[in-house]
Amino acid sequence: MAFSRSDSRAVDELRPIRFTRGWQEFAEGSVLVEFGNTRVLCAASFTPGVPRWKTGSGSGWVTAEYAMLPRATTTRNQRESIRGKIGGRTHEISRLIGRSLRAVVNLEALGENSITLDCDVLQADGGTRTAAITGAYVALADAISWGKENGHIRSDVRVLLDSVSAVSVGIIDGTPCLDLPYVEDVRADTDMNVVVTGNGNFVEVQGTAEGATFDRKELNTLLDLAVKGTSELAKLQAQALQED
Amino acid sequence: MAFSRSDSRAVDELRPIRFTRGWQEFAEGSVLVEFGNTRVLCAASFTPGVPRWKTGSGSGWVTAEYAMLPRATTTRNQRESIRGKIGGRTHEISRLIGRSLRAVVNLEALGENSITLDCDVLQADGGTRTAAITGAYVALADAISWGKENGHIRSDVRVLLDSVSAVSVGIIDGTPCLDLPYVEDVRADTDMNVVVTGNGNFVEVQGTAEGATFDRKELNTLLDLAVKGTSELAKLQAQALQED
Amino acid sequence: MAFSRSDSRAVDELRPIRFTRGWQEFAEGSVLVEFGNTRVLCAASFTPGVPRWKTGSGSGWVTAEYAMLPRATTTRNQRESIRGKIGGRTHEISRLIGRSLRAVVNLEALGENSITLDCDVLQADGGTRTAAITGAYVALADAISWGKENGHIRSDVRVLLDSVSAVSVGIIDGTPCLDLPYVEDVRADTDMNVVVTGNGNFVEVQGTAEGATFDRKELNTLLDLAVKGTSELAKLQAQALQED
Amino acid sequence: MAFSRSDSRAVDELRPIRFTRGWQEFAEGSVLVEFGNTRVLCAASFTPGVPRWKTGSGSGWVTAEYAMLPRATTTRNQRESIRGKIGGRTHEISRLIGRSLRAVVNLEALGENSITLDCDVLQADGGTRTAAITGAYVALADAISWGKENGHIRSDVRVLLDSVSAVSVGIIDGTPCLDLPYVEDVRADTDMNVVVTGNGNFVEVQGTAEGATFDRKELNTLLDLAVKGTSELAKLQAQALQED
Amino acid sequence: MAFSRSDSRAVDELRPIRFTRGWQEFAEGSVLVEFGNTRVLCAASFTPGVPRWKTGSGSGWVTAEYAMLPRATTTRNQRESIRGKIGGRTHEISRLIGRSLRAVVNLEALGENSITLDCDVLQADGGTRTAAITGAYVALADAISWGKENGHIRSDVRVLLDSVSAVSVGIIDGTPCLDLPYVEDVRADTDMNVVVTGNGNFVEVQGTAEGATFDRKELNTLLDLAVKGTSELAKLQAQALQED
Amino acid sequence: MAFSRSDSRAVDELRPIRFTRGWQEFAEGSVLVEFGNTRVLCAASFTPGVPRWKTGSGSGWVTAEYAMLPRATTTRNQRESIRGKIGGRTHEISRLIGRSLRAVVNLEALGENSITLDCDVLQADGGTRTAAITGAYVALADAISWGKENGHIRSDVRVLLDSVSAVSVGIIDGTPCLDLPYVEDVRADTDMNVVVTGNGNFVEVQGTAEGATFDRKELNTLLDLAVKGTSELAKLQAQALQED
């Protein structure tokens, strides 16, 4: 019997993707990104100046913080502010988003300015970290434009070297699939998040066996799917940024 | 010269109010409430069972947690999860929302069930705590309906004794005004948050002098405005709950 | 049948009030204040200089911290230092005391000096926050005198614009009463703390329904009682400060 | 030139010692102990039941918590609740008080009951930990009497095996002295706290060189002084407990 | 000019690897593992019973905690216990080690027993997480043997499905290299940690661009190196476990 | 019947003592010290500069941090970094080590430099704090030599005024014994840690009754044993420092 996905998509098909720029009106860049039912609000805050350890370096900094509303999920999660500490998963994803964005930023061209990306998951249906990276890139682009328009960045430099997006892939009942929603994610034997630049190079490859290990051939198929998915996401990002 | 408000409203006029029910699809009740540019996402989580100190009492519990996204405001605020503790203001508002809702809930009729209201401010333009109370009531009503439909609450009992809403009032340059946006809030000499039931009784009156003290006459005018505003909010809540 | 209070007081009568100045000998101002069995030790610490955010402003700062000894109450409470965090109630009361005192201080006249009021409840029998405000004012007055005598404040300026005191009022079995001890506090349907200046203006009005909501008429009666009580407290404060 | 003490006492003379029993009226035992200007409020809280690790053992537990009000000292100390953690010194002294008291308690005779001693320093002028131990013993004795009177402890068992008290000794400019106030404490080359039972046996000996080390002869002289001081304290404790 | 490594190794050559079993005598399994100058002490603690969320499941649990001594590195790092929280990197590595080990454990066969792997880096010269995984496997094997010998695990079940080891690979000046020491790690453009089972399947692939992104061909070369390195490590693990 | 020790030692005999200098290669001083099965890794970190409160004083600072690996003991202890706070015992021992070392350091001669001693217990079999002090002295001596060789300390000043070592003594079944391993420690009625300089003067005397109090004669015998033990340790320290 043929394998069929929970939402009838083809195995190499993305969920419906939507970017809403300017969702929060006070941020220098703000995007509500949707991968199907997954909704992440990405806010880019531009601050002249850099953390102490970069002062005087002439170059800037980009960092990210990921979090989830208590009721983004099917059952309520306790707030990390109430628990008094950030969990390991949150730390890990925040660091991943920051690294992914810095891979396409020319920090020297940014000058001594800092951009913080807040990625808050309003609704979680799988792939929140990849949606966060993909949306944060758009918010980042808007914040850099703001920095140029407001004279914080020289208008003649190229701060963004490329675009960056991310997608999850996984093996479900032996079938490699692209962009897993929550119901597929929990069934997947292998789960991989791949971050790819607009020109198709890798920034991060994070594959994890969850139950069954994976062989070299499966790894290759997963990478093929991820490259296809991120190349489509790159086009959608470009399209969103052209709107005004 | 006549006093005029930043957004040309009459002194006793509310900002445009909007309730979007079902904004988050996993919560038993979810409302995005807007008071002008202030946007608060209220999620009601229904859990059978009660905290240990109420076990065996036969009665339920309703509590609330308030928080703000880092970039809800014009400049970025550090996350309380990163700071490792909840600030005094957050605590105070969470407690206020919880008390306000419990004032209209028959906890015995709720039975040994708990409802947690998460009020996350997505955008802050003054009056976030009053918007949170007003929206949380609607989410609470939906969660109670869910509890009845799913057999957790007897369908023949009246859990909600009345509706409840809240509004801010304040004195700006000597003029008492209703429902202050941020620019007015910072200029106000006196700031008051008033929580009122649908039938017009008081649940909370919290008035604070910020610079100049206030006399009995001013206090009376502020209370009049608050009663007018909350009576309009009560109608809008009822209207929102009738939609399907 | 006539309503009668637990300690036979009239409904508009304060408990026995006592101020012992200089209780702690190292503080610039120190008062042990007693409202019946409620005992709060108020210490005012005068420090030249202001927090960073006020540096260079030419004006000073007054702040307060409220706490309770573990065995101030009938059963032992865990220390907040052991729990590793300040509870919501503590934060709320500390902020209330600070705001109440600042309402009567001319911060410009104070100059770049800071005064911290530590209000530690040694014994708690209801009304600890109102006793704290009332006692803290006396300790503050002493600390300001100390600042003048020691050349930190110009002797010809008026730092205190007025006195300030506070009292609790509440509705017990339908009867509005002044200055509730613990046994009445737990029975009250409505509980209100009112902070009033020496000349009779309001600084804070915090009324909370605990079980039954309250109407406009009840609110007015409670405010009348509070004004009467604080006017008596203002006289007792003045008297205490005249002693030497 | 002869050595003379700051307050003209003989080198082997205690400061004026005072015990005020029943200072806090809700605690099962409560004593305000004074060693000169040092004032410590000791409250004993009696709770039927024991911590989990002792449940079913048939024997009880005695523990202590030491703390200091922010303005007990000449300059204000930050609260440990605000800092979010207990300092090393506080931990160390709390543990010392607990061990010292347990040395004279027959935990089996206490039965499965817990007594917590809260020792809060209201004013600090040297020797706060020794005053705390000395006062806590008296509060403990009262709490044990309470436990017997209220049927939690069998009336025919001897819970307290002996009394216990403590005193500081130190070497100032080469002269060993008993019961050091703050001004002497900071000048002392060696500082020793000694905890002794009513019958003259040692419970704790904690000697520390602060600048100059000490030899065996000096150690012996310090121990002699401590034994003399604690034998006087034991008499004063007995006397305080006889009053009614 | 030919590329040459800091320690003259071939690009596909491991550093000298050493396992010292039984280094800590109280643990059920204990291994000091060395990858060149990197030294990690791995202790496996066997505890009958499982965390609450697994109770009654009939299956066991394996978890890990990674930490570093303050002076494992060339400059001292502050202790995480002093900072009061675990950093993001520590969390991330602890989770990675736990997942890697669980990938080769039959948790049902383990029964309701828990094994905690403590991996403490005594000296850090690159590749601490891969050394930790490789050493922890050996300690885990010893702890499982202990569990069988002591009757906690049935002796006829196979708990370990395969061995697991890990190695770092990276691209330095364009040259892919195996098992990077610290000096190479900081120069690497791409850094990848690969966890592989004894039979050559992947458990984790974590590749990160640090400055320059990497293409598909480079990714493949890195994976080839990692597979070669882990296959050698698997032999050394087996050898170490045969010794007695 | 004659008393006999668990490991057949004479009552006044030390366990086998071993110092391994240079165990960690990055620290300015590093010693693995062994007292029988107790193993403590002591690392001295030399940093030019002093904490803020000593800046400009011309003199240096020496401090220590003590910790224990989770599986140093027969059953696993939770990490203090995971619990989020340092326990009382850890604080107490860290402070003791720091004070003990400072007693033999001429801080003025050290100049404005800081040395931190990290004492991590890798295996715990009684006497960990005394082993830590004894080993830390050797690591400190090496770090001071490093400071002189690297021009941070003037080569003609004497920074170390004397050596310092420590040993535990205790009364077991009425018999005073030197250097207790864990099995004896838990049986001891009285436990004393004594820190002594090379010339035989006391730095710290910390005696604690654990169950039975002790009299003056027993105290004297314990001090005799401690003086004998530390005099032997001083010789072994000198010997270790002569090796190269």
* Residue A14: per-residue pLDDT: 98
The more confident residue out of C35 and C52 is C35
Contacts of E99 in chain A (CB under 8 A): 208
Q: What is the spatial distance between Cα F20 and Cα F33, in angstroms, rounded to a whole number?
A: 6
What's the CA gap between D80 and D67, in Å, rounded?
9
- In this prediction, residue E1 carries a pLDDT of 46
Distance CA E97, CA C52 (A): 45
* pLDDT > 80? residue D244: no
C26 contact residues in D (CB cutoff 8 A): 71-74, 123
> pLDDT of C129-179, one tens digit each?
999 999 999 999 999 999 999 999 999 999 999 999 999 999 998 999 999
Q: Which of chain C's residues have a Cβ under 8 Å away from the Cβ of D116?
A: 70, 76
Q: Determine the 3-state secondary structure of B187 from DSSP.
A: coil
Report the C-alpha gap between E129 and E90 in whole angstroms.
10
Question: How many CA atoms are closer than 13 Å to the CA of E101, on its beta-carbon side?
Answer: 37
- Interface partners of chain F (CB pairs < 8 Å, 3 or more) are D, E
User: How many helices (H) and strands (E) would you count in chain D?
Assistant: 6, 9
Question: What is the spatial distance between Cα F136 and Cα F121, in angstroms, rounded to a whole number?
Answer: 12
- C2 — pLDDT class (breaks 50, 70, 90): low
Quick check: A86 pLDDT over 90? no
Query: Residue A1's pLDDT is what?
Result: 46
**Which chain D positions have a beta carbon within 8 Å of C80's beta carbon?**
81
Token pair for C33: 């204040």
Q: How far apart are CA B237 and CA D82, in angstroms?
A: 41
pLDDT at residue D204 is higher than 70: yes
> CA of B94: which chain A residue's CA is closest?
A82
Determine the average pLDDT of the residues in C114-121: 98
- Per-residue pLDDT, F131: 98
Chain C interface mutation, best of B97, B213, B224, highest count of C Cβ atoms under 10 Å? B213
Residue whose pair of structure tokens reads 């940093």 in the numeric block: F47
F190 close to F222: Cβ distance less than 8 angstroms: yes
pLDDT of C86:
83
Longest Cα–Cα distance of chain A, Å, equals: 64
Side chain identity at residue D2, one-letter code:
A
Percentage with pLDDT > 70 across chain C: 99
Closest CA to D214 of D188, D193, D181, D182: D188
Residue A118 to residue A62: CA distance in whole angstroms: 11
Of A89, A202, A206, the CB nearest to E219: A202
Distance from CA of F130 to the nearest CA of D (A): 15
What chain E residue is nearest to F69 in terms of C-alpha separation? E120
Phi, psi of D184, rounded to the nearest 5 degrees: -80, -35
D30 close to C (CB below 8 A): yes
User: For residue B176, how many other CB atoms are within 10 A of its CB?
Assistant: 24
> At A29, phi and psi to the nearest 5?
-145, 135
Give the pLDDT score at B2: 59
By residue count, chain E amounts to 244
- pLDDT given at position F1: 46
Residue D220 C-alpha, separation from nearest chain F C-alpha, in angstroms: 9
Q: Which residues of B touch A74 (CB under 8 A)?
A: 26
Residue F197 in this model has a pLDDT that exceeds 60: yes
How far D25 CA sits from the closest chain F CA (Å)?
31
Is the pLDDT score of A69 beyond 70? yes
3-state SS assignment for residue C134: helix
Domains and CATH numbers, chain F: 17-241 (3.30.230.70)
Which residue among D88, D201, D207 places its CB closest to the CB of F204? D207
Of E43, E67, E71, the CB nearest to F81: E67
Please judge whether F116 and E81 are an interchain contact, meaning their C-beta atoms are less than 8 angstroms apart.
Answer: no
Q: What is the amino acid identity at position E40? A: V
Q: What is the pLDDT of residue C234?
A: 98
CA distance to partner chain D, nearest, from residue C224 (Å)? 33
B52 appears as a binding residue in the annotation: no
Residue C219 to residue B207, Cβ atoms within 8 A? no
Instruction: Give the angle subtended at the CA of D192 by the CAs of D186 and D198, to the nearest 5°.
Output: 135
CB C93 within 8 A of CB D48: no
Question: What pLDDT, in 10s, does the model give residues A197-225?
Answer: 999 999 999 999 977 899 999 999 999 99
Does the annotation flag F151 for ligand binding? no
Strand partners, C151: none
Summarize pLDDT for F125-155 with one digit per residue, the tens.
Answer: 999 999 999 999 999 999 999 999 999 999 9
Phi, psi of C182 (to 5 degrees): -55, -45
State the average pLDDT over residues F35-49: 97
Q: Specify the pLDDT at position A2.
A: 59
Neighbour count for residue E212 (Cβ, 10 Å): 14
SS3 F42: strand
Residue F28 to residue F43: CA distance in whole angstroms: 8
The answer to whether residues E210 and E198 touch, using CB atoms and an 8 Å cutoff, is no
Question: Given this model, what pLDDT does residue F206 score?
Answer: 96
The pLDDT value recorded for residue E6 is 80
Measured at the CA of C75, the angle between CA C70 and CA C81, to 5 degrees, comes to 25
CB-based contact (8 Å) between E116 and chain F? yes
Instruction: Give mean pLDDT, residues F107-124.
Output: 97
Residues of A with Cβ-Cβ distance to B25 under 8 angstroms: 37, 123
pLDDT, greater one: E3 or A209 = A209
Residue of E nearest to F80 (CA): E81
Among C70-84, D156-170, E144-158, F37-51, name the one with the lowest average pLDDT.
C70-84
> What is the crossing angle of helices E216-242 and A216-242, to 10°?
140
DSSP-assigned states of every residue in B50-113: --GGGTTSS--EEEEEEEE-TTSSSSPPPPHHHHTS--HHHHHHHHHHHHHHHTTB-HHHH-SE
Least confident of A76-90, B40-54, D192-206: A76-90
Interval B79-92 mean pLDDT: 86
**What are the CA-CA distances from residue D126 to residues A183, B234, D37, D90, F204 (Å)?**
66, 62, 9, 15, 20
What is the pLDDT, as a whole number, of residue C1?
46
- Flag whether residue C116 sits within 8 Å of chain D, measured between CB atoms: yes
Contact E202, E194 (CB under 8 A): yes
Q: Sort out which chain D residues have CB atoms less than 8 A from C65's CB and list them.
A: 70, 79, 82
Query: Considering only CA atoms, which of B152, B138, B141, B146 is closest in space to residue B110?
Result: B152
* Cβ atoms within 10 Å of B62's Cβ, excluding its own: 26
Residue of F208, F210, F217 to mutate, interface with D, max D Cβ within 10 Å: F208
Alpha-carbon gap, residue C176 to C156, rounded angstroms? 44
The yes-or-no verdict on residue E244 having pLDDT over 80 is: no
**Cβ C84–D79 below 8 Å, yes or no?**
no
Distance from CA of B227 to the nearest CA of C (A): 10
Q: What is the pLDDT of residues E162-216, one digit of tens each?
A: 999 999 999 998 999 999 999 999 999 899 999 999 999 999 999 999 778 999 9
Instruction: Name residue E35's beta-bridge partners.
Output: E17, E38
Percentage of chain F lying above the pLDDT 90 cut: 86
Distance (Å, rounded) from C-alpha B115 to C-alpha F85? 33
State pLDDT tens for residues E120-177: 999 999 999 999 999 999 999 999 999 999 999 999 999 999 999 999 999 998 999 9
Give CA–CA dist E214/E210, Å, rounded: 10
Q: Which two tokens stand for residue E102?
A: 């669980």
Q: Do C72 and D122 touch (CB under 8 A)?
A: no
Instruction: Using the predicted structure, report yes or no on whether residue A130 has a pLDDT greater than 80.
Output: yes
**Which of C26, C81, C82 comes nearest D71 by C-beta?**
C26
Residue of F nearest to D192 (CA): F205
Among the partner-chain residues E86, E202, E209, the one whose CB lies closest to the CB of A214 is E202
Is D52 strand, coil or helix? helix
Which residue has tokens 């009177």?
D149
User: Which residue blocks in chain B are alpha helix, DSSP H?
Assistant: 80-83, 88-102, 107-110, 128-149, 182-185, 216-242
Distance between CA atoms of residues C74 and C123, nearest Å: 9
Confidence check on the interface: ipTM exceeds 0.90, yes or no? yes
Q: What is the DSSP string of E83-152?
A: HTS--HHHHHHHHHHHHHHHTTB-HHHH-SEEEEEEEEEEE-SS-HHHHHHHHHHHHHHHHHHHHHHTTS
In sequence order, what are the beta bridge partners of B176? B171
| F27 three-state secondary structure | coil
Residues B17-30: tens digit of each pLDDT: 999 999 999 999 99
Predicted pLDDT at B87: 83
CB distance from B223 to chain C under 8 Å? yes
What is the per-residue pLDDT for E2? 59
Using pLDDT thresholds of 50, 70 and 90, give the confidence band for residue A50. Answer: very high
Q: Please report the residues numbered 190 through 219 in chain B whose beta carbons come closer than 8 angstroms to any beta carbon of chain A.
A: none
The answer to which of A52-56, A67-71, E86-90 has the lowest mean pLDDT is E86-90
* Sequence-separated (6 or more) residues with CB below 8 Å from residue B96: B129, B133, B193, B195, B204, B206
Q: Determine the distance in angstroms separating the CA of F66 from the nearest CA of chain E, rounded to an integer.
A: 10
Average pLDDT over residues C7-28: 96
Query: Cα dihedral sign for D170, D175, D176, D178?
Result: negative
| In contact, F187 and F172? CB cutoff 8 Å | yes
CA distance F78 to chain E (A): 10
* Interface contact flag, F88 D103, Cβ < 8 Å: no
Taking the C-alpha atoms of residue D44 and residue D27, their distance in angstroms, rounded to an integer, is: 6
Backbone angles phi, psi at E79, to 5 degrees: -65, 140
Which three-class secondary structure state does DSSP give residue E154?
Answer: coil
- What is the average pLDDT score of chain E? 94
- Burial per residue of D187-213, b for 16 or more beta-carbon CB atoms within 10 angstroms, e otherwise: ebbbbbbbbbbbeebbbbbbbbbbeeb
pLDDT attached to residue E88: 81
Residue E129 · residue E166 · CB < 8 Å = yes
Q: In what order do the strands lie in the sheet with A17-21?
A: A17-21, A29-35, A38-48, A113-123, A61-68
The string of DSSP codes covering F203-221 is EEEEEEESSS-B-HHHHHH
Q: Is F58 left (phi over 0), alpha (psi -120 to 50) or beta?
A: left
